[in-house]
């Protein structure tokens, strides 16, 4: 799918304005010129400039390029199914991860995605479990990201 640059620019403009509005409420640190709002504000200002360039560029191309051109995947049943499987997996993780925990949810999500991608059935469960445990180890132990334990809380390690 191809979207005109003006549409992308407007969305990025809204994002940059929202970030600028949000960082305006950050507290200042007495005696320092650089506070917690400095770098997010700088990045948002740069994003604002880039979004304006995209909007101008997209409006210039408006006569040549339509606003939205749908990709060939929109007519492919296999691609549409995989899109909805991915969307369903994301929604499942968002709503179930606090109650079930990261490990069970990640295993279910990976297994569903492997199934949708026609991975050999004998490999789905071992690879899903192995990759989940590896990701959990990297994030929980290595990066110290607090992942939800859910139903596995009694066996927390």
CA atoms of 42 and 13, how far apart (whole Å): 14
Provide the β-strand partners of residue 68.
3
Q: How far is CA 64 from CA 8, 68, 70, in A?
A: 17, 12, 16
Q: What's residue 31's pLDDT?
A: 80
Own/partner pairs, 104-107, CB within 8 angstroms, 24+ separation: 104/150, 104/151, 104/152, 105/150, 106/132, 106/135, 106/136, 107/132
Provide the pLDDT for residue 27.
Answer: 85
SS (H, E, C) the chain: CEECHHHHHHHHHHHHHHHHHHHCCCCCCCCCCCCCCHHHHHHHHHHHHHHHHHHHHHHHCCCCCCCEECCHHHHCHHHHHHHHHHHHHHHHHHHHHHHHCHHHHHHHHHHHHHHHCCCCHHHHHHHHHHHHHHHHHHHHHHCCCCCCCHHHHHHCC
Tokens of 110: 């990976």
pLDDT score recorded for residue 65: 75
Contact 9, 55 (CB under 8 A): yes
Domain boundaries of the chain, sorted by first residue: 2-69, 73-155
2: β partners: 69
- Which neighbouring-strand residues pair with 69? 2
pLDDT in tens, the chain (157 residues): 788 899 999 999 999 999 999 999 988 888 877 888 889 999 999 999 999 999 999 998 877 778 888 888 788 899 889 999 999 999 999 999 999 999 999 999 999 999 999 999 999 999 999 999 999 999 998 888 889 999 988 887 6
């Amino acid at each position: 799918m191809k979207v005109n640059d003006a549409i992308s620019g407007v969305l990025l403009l809204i994002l940059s304005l929202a970030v600028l509005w949000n960082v305006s409420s950050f507290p200042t640190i007495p005696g320092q010129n650089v506070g917690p709002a400095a770098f997010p504000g700088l990045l948002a200002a740069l994003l604002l400039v880039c979004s304006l360039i995209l909007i101008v560029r997209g409006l210039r191309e408006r006569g040549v390029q339509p606003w939205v051109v749908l990709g060939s995947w929109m007519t492919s049943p296999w691609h549409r199914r995989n899109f909805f499987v991915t969307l369903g997996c994301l929604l499942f993780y968002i709503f179930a991860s606090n109650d079930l925990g990261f490990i069970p949810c990640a295993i279910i999500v990976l297994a569903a995605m492997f199934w949708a991608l026609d991975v050999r059935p004998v490999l789905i469960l071992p690879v899903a479990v192995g990759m989940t445990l590896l990701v959990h180890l990297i994030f929980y132990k290595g990066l110290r990201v607090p992942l939800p334990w859910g139903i596995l809380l009694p066996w927390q390690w």
